[in-house]
Structure 1
């Protein structure tokens, strides 16, 4: 399953204007010669107090623009790397599920050795297990309670070098997640 481009129709609906108008706003803010942060910083105040969750929508609009002008491909981050996540709602408590998945890591993930020791943490909402890999990839297992007996588990691989690596990791993570 390939990563999809940003949904322009959703941005139009959220902003209440045609994509051509939003694109013009971005071009007026520097267009292709501006970096992601400059474009987002210029667009952000234009929708503050006008659009719910406007920061999220501004980021989406800038990414869509960057895809449109060929600066990024779907799934690519501003730094040129790629991220992929898989998720599933599973019966169990969040910290137990994270620990169960982490117990299946034998010093490597998807054929790549861990670099340093994995880290765990807890917030009021989520439990985490994080690890760095020798090739620069970063892995995060996160879980949050969805109901009394179920938790949403998300595994993310980030800092991937290419769309091909993204798809390889997607397949690996889909197979890894059901181990609990």
Structure 2
């Protein structure tokens, strides 16, 4: 079966979690189970990791999502509000403003829509395209060395995960046309 969105554990290795937090995922999950975190909300779990164990906020979020996925509380691609999100990225040989303009042009043509907001001058420029039913596509760019940029697309607020694979395939195709 083709899994369109990987699990939290696939994105960040257990060695990295151990090096950054002093414990591996299994140890964190055992502590969370012991504390009864399976019945807690996402924010409460992450706050407990930060407040009780001094885990950095970014790592606490990752451990929390991993715990929720491992315990069947959240599926890969699912946000804490229950909606689903898919993201793709690639590196291009363009500066940030040129990369975002090119990406926004492609997305606008594919969606037959204008961005609600287009910010070409920010350090990390973005363009947001609102869609029917509250969904959106966010185009973003981050500067890299030597005039290159990382371009990314996020399709958010999907009501279920049934379209994740198709959405990711479409967005990957759109990224290939930039740069």
Query: Where on the TM-score scale, by shorter chain, does this alignment land: which range?
Result: 0.7 to 0.9
**Aligned residue among 87, 90, 93 for 1:88:** 90
- TM norm structure 1: 0.82
Following TM superposition, by how much is the alpha carbon of 1:108 offset from its aligned partner in structure 2, in angstroms?
5.6
The answer to whether the Cα contact below 8 Å between 1:98 and 1:128 also exists between their aligned partners in 2 is yes
Q: Deviations along 1:14-35, whole A, 9 cap, x unmatched?
A: 3323544312332344322211
Alpha-carbon distance in 2 for matches of 1:14, 1:105: 37
- Which SS does the other structure have where 2:151 is aligned? strand
Count of matched residue pairs = 172
Greater displacement, 20-29 / 66-75: 20-29
Matched, 1:163 2:161: yes
- TM norm structure 2: 0.82
Q: Looking at secondary structure, tell me which structure has more strand per residue.
A: 1
**What is the root-mean-square deviation in Å for CA atoms of aligned residues?**
2.4
In the alignment, which residue of structure 2 is the partner of 1:58?
60
Following TM superposition, by how much is the alpha carbon of 1:9 offset from its aligned partner in structure 2, in angstroms?
2.1
The answer to whether the Cα contact below 8 Å between 2:101 and 2:120 also exists between their aligned partners in 1 is no
The answer to whether the Cα contact below 8 Å between 1:120 and 1:130 also exists between their aligned partners in 2 is yes
Q: 1:8-19 counterparts in 2 under 5 A?
A: 9-10=14-15, 11-19=17-25
In the alignment, which residue of structure 2 is the partner of 1:132?
130
In the alignment, which residue of structure 2 is the partner of 1:102?
104
The answer to whether the Cα contact below 8 Å between 1:146 and 1:152 also exists between their aligned partners in 2 is yes
The answer to whether the Cα contact below 8 Å between 1:143 and 1:154 also exists between their aligned partners in 2 is yes
In the alignment, which residue of structure 2 is the partner of 1:23?
29
The answer to whether the Cα contact below 8 Å between 1:29 and 1:38 also exists between their aligned partners in 2 is no
5+ residue gaps, structure 2, are: none
- Which SS does the other structure have where 1:120 is aligned? strand
In the alignment, which residue of structure 2 is the partner of 1:118?
116
